[in-house]
Amino acid sequence: MTALSDRLPAVLRSRRGTLLLVAALQLMALGYMVFDRVRLVKTGKEIVLPIIPVDPRDLFKGDYVRLAYPISRPDAVAFSGPMPDRSAWGYAVVEPDPDPARIWKIVRISASRPTDLSPGQIVMKARAPGGWREKQPVLHFGLERYYVPEGTGLALEKMAADRKLAAIVAVDASGNAAIKGLSVDGRKVYDEPMF
Amino acid sequence: MFTSLSRLRADVDRWQAAGWVDPDGARHIKAELDARHSGLSLPNTLAVLGVVLIAFAAMSFVAANWQDLSKLARLTVLGTGLVASYVGADTLFRRGHDGFGHAAVLLGVAIFGASIMLIAQMYHMEGSPPDAVWLWLVGALAAGILIRSNPALGLAAILLVIWSHMTIQTAPRAIHWGFLPMWALAAFGVAETRWHRGMHLLALALSYWIVVSAFQWSDANGKYVVLAVGLALALGSIAFGDVIDRWRRISPAMLAYGMGLAFVALLVIQFMPRGLFYGSKTGNLWVWGTITLALIVGALMWAWRTENRSALWLAYAAFVIEIFALYIAKLGTLLNTSLFFLVTGLLVIALAVVAYRMHNAIGPTKGAAP
């Protein structure tokens, strides 16, 4: 009986080979994380979402600010069709309000990716950490954390409480979303450099 | 303690070339050397502790979110650290400092984890937190299996439990089946390096998963699943111990972990029948108390016969915990409790007499049991 290690290709039998392979695999994984994010922010459609405070008493926790949006708690009318499974992704169809404020709101939510979009509508992928069958599910779009330098969160907390804060968000064709920056009264305050 | 494993392995190769050792023998000697080398030595332990400290330095560096350094510079610091760890490991392995080499591999895996967190932070990825730990786990498993590095496998075992715990937090009431294939990969790595402590780490991780999954499946009936799995493990180790041990000597541990799981389940059945947080009502203690004591005595006798020390001590501990718990919970009245202990006491003494007779019939090769 030969040990499994004897049947491996030569590169895996030398320790140097395996060390280099592991380093390369890990670097590739990290590189892909960065690449995927940069692609999303660079090519995604830009929308602006006003930020509402999650909990005025404990908005700032550790070194990130928790963010929530009007679309985080959609109206009951959005939930007409079949709901996604508990921990599965759901697809929210969003469009801007026709009023001058042009706040994005959810039109409907479906378990599968919708194909029949009207002009101006986009799809955003969402999870419901508390479950989709709650009375009013809270949705997460992957936009709920904004990391800030140590000790600078309080200023943002105050701005969010005054409802002046908005997030500039990029959404790609698959519905993935990423924060590009923050704005106060329409003026960019935090612009996220890619590198 | 400072003998280099690489030099010893080279010696074995030389002996094999000289024809003093046949190829099969050489492989067994090397496996034995590897297994023995996983034992603790002071320099290696200190090196691993140093790595843990540096890993925490890297994590704090990430948490500080220091904006004076550009994203690219921060990524470069960690990427360079990652590559330097593996290059350093290569140098250390080639010089025969295997313990330090494995510490450097562990550092590489730790920096990989810190880098994942850093990227998530830099790009404000909320994502699903378990996914980040999963990616780290995959990196640790790759290092552990490909480089045959026990510290990386140990970290993987810890990450397995953290990952499973976080997954359950985000999706309660669902069994985390994804745990099993990742556990199997880690078990494969530990089986390849024959790392004894790693086997225990993985056994603990699996025990954790079995208990949590059973109660996730059904709060009321999960305890019976844990009992069944525990008994199956224990009986499996008794019935197929020889076959299993021919592959790797794990049947004694299987017996001990099976017993542990079964006993935990029996405690819940007896003393927390309505769940962990629902008052002090007890189950049918006459029936389950008798079954528990019978199983403990049976396990004790088997452990004694097979000289399985961990199972023996586990059985002693279970016996003490069980009778104290029964005494406090009471079987109806104190008088009934007294009757129960009297009858079971007489039965165990009867067993002792039978065992003594059998022991003498075989021949007094050893002193009588204390």
Q: Tens-of-pLDDT digits for all 370 residues of chain B?
A: 345 667 777 888 888 888 888 888 888 887 777 666 555 578 888 888 888 898 888 877 777 766 777 888 888 988 999 999 999 999 999 998 888 999 999 999 999 998 988 888 888 876 667 888 999 999 999 999 999 999 999 999 999 999 999 888 877 677 899 999 999 999 999 998 888 889 999 999 999 999 999 888 887 788 899 999 999 999 998 888 888 888 888 888 888 899 999 999 998 888 876 655 554 566 677 788 888 988 998 888 888 888 888 888 888 888 888 888 887 777 777 788 888 888 888 888 888 887 777 767 655 444 444 4
Kindly report the nearest CA distance between residue A12 and chain B, in angstroms. 7
Average pLDDT over residues A15-37: 92
What is the residue-averaged pLDDT of chain A?
80
Q: Please, which residues have CB within 8 angstroms of residue B159's CB and are 6 or more apart in sequence?
A: B133, B136, B137, B140
**Does an H or E element contain B73, and which?**
helix B71-94
Average pLDDT over residues A149-172: 79
Cβ-Cβ pairs closer than 8 A, A with B, add up to 125
| Alpha carbon distance B48, B361 (integer Å) | 53
Q: Please, which residues have CB within 8 angstroms of residue B167's CB and are 6 or more apart in sequence?
A: B130, B176, B178
The reply to whether residue A144 touches residue B112, judged by beta carbons under 8 angstroms, is no
Kindly report the nearest CA distance between residue B115 and chain A, in angstroms. 7
- For chain A positions 1-60, those within 8 Å of chain B (CB to CB) are 3-5, 12, 15-16, 18-23, 25-27, 29-30, 33-34, 37, 41
CB B105 within 8 A of CB B112: no
pLDDT of residue B261: 92
The reply to whether residue B123 touches residue A41, judged by beta carbons under 8 angstroms, is yes
Enumerate the residues of chain A whose CB falls inside 8 A of the CB of residue B82. Answer: 23, 26-27, 30
The reply to whether residue A179 touches residue B148, judged by beta carbons under 8 angstroms, is no
pLDDT in tens, B122-153: 888 766 678 889 999 999 999 999 999 999 99
- For chain A positions 82-121, those within 8 Å of chain B (CB to CB) are 86-87
Give CA separation, A140 vs B40, B171, B334, in Å.
46, 14, 57
| Alpha carbon distance B38, B152 (integer Å) | 12
Enumerate the residues of chain B whose CB falls inside 8 A of the CB of residue A192. Answer: 123-124
Among the partner residues A23, A63, A86, nearest to B82 by beta-carbon distance: A23
3-class DSSP assignment, residue B127:
coil
pLDDT of residue A61: 41
Among the partner residues A5, A179, A195, nearest to B124 by beta-carbon distance: A179
| Alpha carbon distance B315, B302 (integer Å) | 10
CB B180 within 8 A of CB B23: no
Among the partner residues B75, B112, B126, nearest to A26 by beta-carbon distance: B112
CB B114 within 8 A of CB B78: yes
Enumerate the residues of chain B whose CB falls inside 8 A of the CB of residue A32. Answer: none
Among the partner residues A30, A129, A148, nearest to B65 by beta-carbon distance: A148
Among the partner residues A4, A179, A193, nearest to B192 by beta-carbon distance: A4
Kindly report the nearest CA distance between residue A38 and chain B, in angstroms. 9
| Alpha carbon distance B101, B92 (integer Å) | 5
The reply to whether residue A195 touches residue B127, judged by beta carbons under 8 angstroms, is no
Enumerate the residues of chain B whose CB falls inside 8 A of the CB of residue A23. Answer: 82-83, 85-87, 108
Predicted ipTM beyond 0.85: no
* pTM: predicted TM-score of the whole model, two decimal places: 0.76
Helices H / strands E in chain A, number of each: 3, 10
Kindly report the nearest CA distance between residue B141 and chain A, in angstroms. 10
CB B114 within 8 A of CB B62: yes
Amino acid at B13: D
The reply to whether residue B124 touches residue A192, judged by beta carbons under 8 angstroms, is yes
| Alpha carbon distance A8, A18 (integer Å) | 11
Report DSSP state, residue B103. Answer: H
| Alpha carbon distance B102, A154 (integer Å) | 43
Task: Please name which of A187, A146, A188, A128 lies closest in space to residue A59, comparing C-alpha atoms.
Answer: A146
pLDDT in tens, B148-167: 999 999 999 999 999 999 88
Q: What are A181's strand-pairing partners?
A: A168, A191
